[in-house]
Amino acid sequence: MRRRCLRYTLWATIIIGSLVMCGCERKTINEIKADPARYANREVTVAGEVVRSFSLLGKGAYEVDDGTGKLWVASKTGVPRKGARIAVKGTIRDAYDLSTLGLPDPLGTGMVLLENSHKALK
C-alpha cells in the first residue's frame, strides 16, 4: 500500500512539474514577431539587454534586445537601467503600430510585453 501511494505521488509530481515548466517557456523575440497571433495574450519569458529605458513615478517602459530582435516592455513596478541583462516574464499584447508614422526612430511593431516580473541575469 505504501509503495502504491509513493508511486502515485511520484507520477503526480512529474506531471505537475512538466505542466509548470511548459507554462511559460523562454522565447526569442524573433519567434514572437514571426507569429504574433500565436503569442498574443499569452505569457512568455524573454531574455536580453535593455537598450532603451524610460520611467516616471515608478512606472515606465523599456526596450529589450535579445540579438534576434527588439521588443518594448511596459512595467508598473519600475524599469531596469540601460545596458542591464535581464529575463522578463509577461503577457504579449497588441499595441499601436507607430512605425507607420515615419518617425526617425520608430517605436516598433505594434506589440508590447506587459511585464509581470523581471530579474537580472549574470
Note the pLDDT of residue 22. Answer: 45
Residue 14 counted as domain residue: no
Residues 6+ apart with CB under 8 A from 3: none
DSSP state of 81: P
Note the pLDDT of residue 103. Answer: 45
Asked whether 105 and 111 are in contact (CB, 8 A), the reply is: no
**Average pLDDT, whole number, for the chain?**
80
Note the pLDDT of residue 88. Answer: 95
Tens-digit pLDDT profile for residues 82-98? 999 999 999 998 775 55
Residue 86 counted as domain residue: yes
Note the pLDDT of residue 72. Answer: 92
Residue 11 counted as domain residue: no
> What's the rounded Cα separation, in Å, for the pair 99 and 116?
26
Note the pLDDT of residue 19. Answer: 45
**Which CATH number goes with the domain that contains 55?**
2.40.50.140
Q: Residue 65: which domain range?
A: 26-120
Residue 18 counted as domain residue: no
Residue 105 counted as domain residue: yes
Number of domains composing the chain: 1
Q: Please report where in the chains the cell 517602459 appears, as a residue.
A: 61
Residue 63 counted as domain residue: yes
Note the pLDDT of residue 12. Answer: 60
